[in-house]
Amino acid sequence: MFDYAPAPEARSIVDIKPSYGLFINGEFVDPAEGGTFKTISPATEEVLAEVAEAGPSDVDAAVRAARAAFRTVWGPMPGAARAKYLYRIARLIQERARELAVLESLDNGKPIRESRDVDIPLAAAHFFYYAGWADKLEHAGFGPAPRPLGVAAQVIPWNFPLLMLAWKIAPALACGNTVVLKPAETTPLSALVFAEICQQADLPPGVVNIVTGAGATGAALVAHPDVDKVAFTGSTAVGREIARAVAGTRKRLTLELGGKAANIVFDDAPIDQAVEGIVNGIFFNQGHVCCAGSRLLVQESIYEPLLDSLKRRMARLRVGDPLDKNTDIGAINSAAQLERIRALAEVGSAEGAVPWSPPCELPDRGFWFAPTIFTGVSQAHRIAREEIFGPVLSVLTFRTPAEAVEKANNTPYGLSAGIWTEKGSRILEIADRLRAGVVWANTFNRFDPSSPFGGYKESGYGREGGRHGLEAYLAH
């Protein structure tokens, strides 16, 4: 294995302001109450910017701005006119793609290759896709005269900050709703630059409002009485709290929560291709993926050759500077998340599973965790049942297809799964029996704006993406 010369992306392309206010009614404003918090780079622990923390009165101002814009401008606007704004936003994301990619990697810790090649292009693609729907809603299959709901409160996580924003905002706006969005407190910067993009696009004031803050800000937004729709992506625990808060109100709710996906490899699968899919399934975005293939189910007859191949591949993964174009695995998003990953990995060892990591030198500063696989895992182990949300893979085996399905479905989650086999008939049969919202065949972590995404059981309910993603934002 040869050494790669450093290939850092230029940080100077991003002009991060020292401080950011709240984006309410088309303008950046100081919070009326609440204070500020710092957002840091997880790779270096340096402070990137100071960000306003919205209090209840700030959330109320944002919701009132959204309601006014819905009644006077955005709700009555013809779909074709709304589409023009969405197309404009999509093109501006493309024009500022390099800047957004660097900003996302700085604030989130993910490798620049991923933010450049996945996050930002997909974010633009979602706005393009839903712009196409804006004047065709009566043909979406949700009745002859579907109507927008009103004001959508949207709370997004830190693992795909701009992409999750696009998943939420694009369909809401296409349907004629206005939005108040709260980004995660550890990754607010790309949402605040998106607010600048809304200004660039001359989006009418109040159509999109961005309130930054921690859990209390999100709770105030979800509980606001003048919100018509709540959309949340994040942990199952917080999802339960939101479901309780919304219960008994008129608010519509969609939840996209945790996962513990099974990646099933049958004995006729091409091993090298499967290994690439396994690596992509669990080490993409440092495993900070709700649909990550964190449980590998391998047919017994190929267990040893597949494990040998997987270890060889993992030994070539490069961990380090997220802004280096050679980096495969960047920094863990926060100190709190790193502590959770470490704690669950220690539990795995204590319960008798055997960890293995390739030799890799981790940086001295920042939050880092080496890519790790656990063998000797049983279904009773916590690492096989709980979502670790990090670069940690549990390896289990099976003998028959029926056993594979049983083990795959033996989880409180049901977000995604992967199947690796040469037989198309087996793919269809197994996929039909898996209790998962998305099943990938001979690939993993492939996303497209025209394809719906969502889960069963403790992975939430409702669908985002595709025609299905419109339904949650329409009254019909």
Q: Tokens standing for 420?
A: 């690796």
State which H helix or E strand residue 152 sits in.
strand 151-155
What's the number of CA atoms in the CB half-sphere (13 Å) around residue 201?
A: 28
Residues 143 and 179 in one domain: yes
Domain enclosing residue 467, as ranges: 11-257+456-473
Residue 341 lies in a domain: yes
Q: Tokens standing for 139?
A: 């043909």
**Residue-level pLDDT at 2:** 66
CATH number at residue 297: 3.40.309.10
What's the number of CA atoms in the CB half-sphere (13 Å) around residue 60?
A: 6
Distance, in Å, from the CA atom of 97 to the CA atom of 91, rounded to the nearest integer, reads 10
**Residue-level pLDDT at 462:** 96
Are 142 and 171 in contact, with CB atoms under 8 Å apart? no
**Residue-level pLDDT at 1:** 54
Residues 164 and 244 in one domain: yes
Distance, in Å, from the CA atom of 384 to the CA atom of 154, rounded to the nearest integer, reads 31
Residues 29 and 95 in one domain: yes
Residue 6 lies in a domain: no
DSSP per-residue codes, 346-412: HHHHHTT-EEE----PPPSSS-----EEEES--TTSGGGTS---SSEEEEEEESSHHHHHHHHH-SS
> Across the strands, what pairs with 298?
265, 397
Residues 32 and 124 in one domain: yes
**Residue-level pLDDT at 415:** 97
Residues 295 and 411 in one domain: yes
Residues 80 and 154 in one domain: yes
Residues 307 and 412 in one domain: yes
- Angle made by CA atoms 423, 429, 435, in degrees to the nearest 5: 130
First to last CA, the chain: 59
Are 48 and 15 in contact, with CB atoms under 8 Å apart? no
State which H helix or E strand residue 181 sits in.
strand 178-182
The one catalytic residue in 290, 291, 458, 471 is 290
One-letter amino acid for residue 16 of the chain: I
Are 404 and 264 in contact, with CB atoms under 8 Å apart? yes
What's the number of CA atoms in the CB half-sphere (13 Å) around residue 239?
A: 22
Residue 449 lies in a domain: no
Q: Tokens standing for 288?
A: 């900070």
State which H helix or E strand residue 312 sits in.
helix 303-314
Distance, in Å, from the CA atom of 248 to the CA atom of 391, rounded to the nearest integer, reads 39
Are 159 and 332 in contact, with CB atoms under 8 Å apart? no
Spans of the chain below 50 pLDDT: none
Residue 447 lies in a domain: no
Other C-beta atoms lying within 10 Å of the C-beta of residue 209: 30
256 assigned to active site: yes
Residue 157 lies in a domain: yes
In this structure, the chain runs to a length of: 476
Domain count, the chain: 2
Residues 277 and 143 in one domain: no
The one catalytic residue in 9, 53, 114, 256 is 256
One-letter amino acid for residue 468 of the chain: H
**Residue-level pLDDT at 3:** 77
Residue 451 lies in a domain: no
Residues 315 and 198 in one domain: no
Q: Please give the backbone phi and psi of residue 134, each rounded to the nearest 5 degrees, phi first.
A: -55, -35
Are 212 and 34 in contact, with CB atoms under 8 Å apart? no
Residues 83 and 172 in one domain: yes
**Residue-level pLDDT at 34:** 74
**Residue-level pLDDT at 68:** 98
CATH number at residue 466: 3.40.605.10
Residue 446 lies in a domain: no
Residue 3 lies in a domain: no
Residues 253 and 308 in one domain: no
Helices (H), 43-160: 56-69, 79-95, 97-108, 112-114, 120-133
CA separation, residue 345 to residues 184, 342, 354 (Å): 25, 5, 10
Q: Tokens standing for 55?
A: 């209090």
Residues 177 and 290 in one domain: no
Q: 267 in helix, strand or coil? A: coil
Distance, in Å, from the CA atom of 265 to the CA atom of 429, rounded to the nearest integer, reads 15
Other C-beta atoms lying within 10 Å of the C-beta of residue 148: 23
